[in-house]
Amino acid sequence: MKKVRVEDAVGAVLGHDLTKIVPGEFKGPAFKKGHIIKKEDIPILKGMGKNHIYVIDLKEHQIHEDEAALRIGNAVGGEGIYLKGPSEGKVSLRAKYKGLLKINLEALETINSIELIILATLHNNTLVKKDEQVAGTRIIPLVTEKSKIERVEDISKKLGTVIKIKRLKPKKIGIVVTGTEVYEGRITDKFGPILKNKVENYGGELVDIRYAPDDSSQIEKVIEEFLKEDVEIVFASGGMSVDADDVTPKAIKNVSDNIVTYGSPVLPGAMFMLAYRGKKAIIGIPACGMYYKTTVFDLVFPRILAGEILSRKDIISLAHGGLCLNCDICNYPICPFGK
Ligand SMILES: Nc1nc2c(c(=O)[nH]1)N[C@H]1C(S)=C(S)[C@@H](COP(=O)(O)OP(=O)(O)OC[C@H]3O[C@@H](n4cnc5c(N)ncnc54)[C@H](O)[C@@H]3O)O[C@H]1N2
Ligand code: MOO
């Protein structure tokens, strides 16, 4: 540390806390270790009886925690991210808009392998709100080598954007509610309104809810109509499991050219189906989607709205964290489900 005149200390980094005491009123640090001295601090320091202070002698190859955190934040934050701070050496990364958080896990791990640098994030694929904090970063000591920050910048360049937010696009959605009991009016449709609500909450554009009995060709006919009307995502609800009348998977199979999965390693959601006709997704939603507040549907649908074409591997990787706790009050996404 170096002793300097207060007047000469502007821009320098304070080497230790400076305590201020006003009898009966205040005792505490007026300036904290690591604070960068500003011009307006000079009269305050003099008023505290400080004509000289100890500052950290920052060498050419070193960087202060505030600047380091800002540089890491700028290097790792991509589309849809803004920075807040630094505050006490930490920079937070926030969402510019509502969307799907994408974390490059390989890059995240590589960056955190650099000693004394930390970057903590929410889980990949979390649906985040505007202004929500999605990550935080800092270095551990007050000062570190510039070369470490340059490594973070290199990793971000080589491995691609580390943290970004994908916007959800308001895709056109058609719902076909299956079940002869509903089609014939024996029971009131409870599934359609629930799915309509989900579409609205996630920001999709509902075209129509149509009905079909447990007859494969009639379900196919409704799906085909939707596809002709430029619907981009079709939901088919019910009839997804093993009963003699469960024909929805067969209907989806017949109208699709790519079956990604029938069955998902998620509970609730075992009987879920995802298929594509070209880029149009056809989603079979089992009746659990009507009963439980959150199911596999909530893990998959935002990703499809964000423009992702999901593979079988994406569905398989839902297994870890795919068991819902089935809480009395559902706090999803603030829970382990889908993480
Ligand atoms: N023996 C087995 N039983 C069940 C299995 C299984 O593998 N073996 N799977 C279970 C799972 S997992 C689910 S999820 C459920 C339901 O699957 P489905 O999608 O086939 O459901 P449905 O048979 O069509 O209907 C079940 C129940 O819900 C009522 N329903 C359906 N749609 C509507 C609607 N639009 N409005 C109101 N009510 C509706 C329907 O009338 C039935 O009562 O199967 C488990 N069983
Ligand atoms: O598809 Mo059922 O989903 O597991 O309750």
> Per-residue pLDDT averaged across 13-22, rounded?
85
Asked if residue 224 is part of any domain, the answer here is: yes
DSSP secondary structure, 150-217, as one string: HHHHHHHHHH--SEEEEPPP--EEEEEEE-HHHHTTSS---HHHHHHHHHHHHT-EEEEEEEE-S-HH
- Residue 119 belongs to a domain: yes
| In a domain? residue 48 | yes
Q: Is the pLDDT of residue 1 over 90?
A: no
Task: Summarize the confidence of residues 312-326 as an average pLDDT.
Answer: 97
- Asked if 306 contacts 207 with a C-beta cutoff of 8 angstroms, the reply is no
- How many domains are contained in the chain? 3
Domain of 300, CATH number, reads 3.40.980.10
Rounded to the nearest angstrom, the gap between the alpha carbon of residue 282 and the centroid of all alpha carbons in its chain is: 24
Using one digit for the tens of pLDDT, what is the confidence trace for 220-267?
999 999 999 999 999 999 999 988 778 999 999 999 999 999 999 999
Mark whether 201 and 96 lie in a shared domain.
no
Domain interval for residue 234: 172-319
Ligand 1 pocket residue status of 242, Cβ below 6 Å:
yes
Q: Are residues 305 and 270 in the same domain?
A: yes
User: In this structure, which ligand is nearest to the CA of 184?
Assistant: 1
CATH code, domain with 149: 3.90.1170.30
What is residue 331's predicted lDDT score, i.e. its pLDDT?
93
Do 104 and 51 have their domain in common? Answer: no
Å from CA of 278 to ligand 1 middle: 29
Quick check: is 330 in a domain?
Answer: no
Residue 115 sits in the same domain as residue 199: no
**Do 66 and 185 belong together in one domain?**
no
pTM over 0.90: no
Alpha carbon separation from 66 to 92, 112, 140 (Å, rounded): 12, 18, 11
Looking at per-residue pLDDT, the higher value among 58 and 84 belongs to 84
Q: Are residues 157 and 265 in the same domain?
A: no
Q: Is 331 within a domain? A: no
Position in ligand 1 atom list of the atom nearest CA 271: 12
* Most informative mutation of 198, 271, 273, 323 for ligand 1 (most atoms within 8 A of CB): 271
Boundary (domain end) residue, out of 35, 55, 75 = 55
Atom number of ligand 2 nearest to Cα 291: 5
Which residues does ligand 2 sit against, CB inside 6 Å? 267-272, 286, 288
Query: Residue 327: inside a domain, yes or no?
Result: no
By CB atoms closer than 10 A (0-12, 13-18, 19+), residue 61 is exposed
pLDDT tens, position by position, 76-121: 999 999 999 998 889 999 999 999 999 999 999 999 999 999 999 9
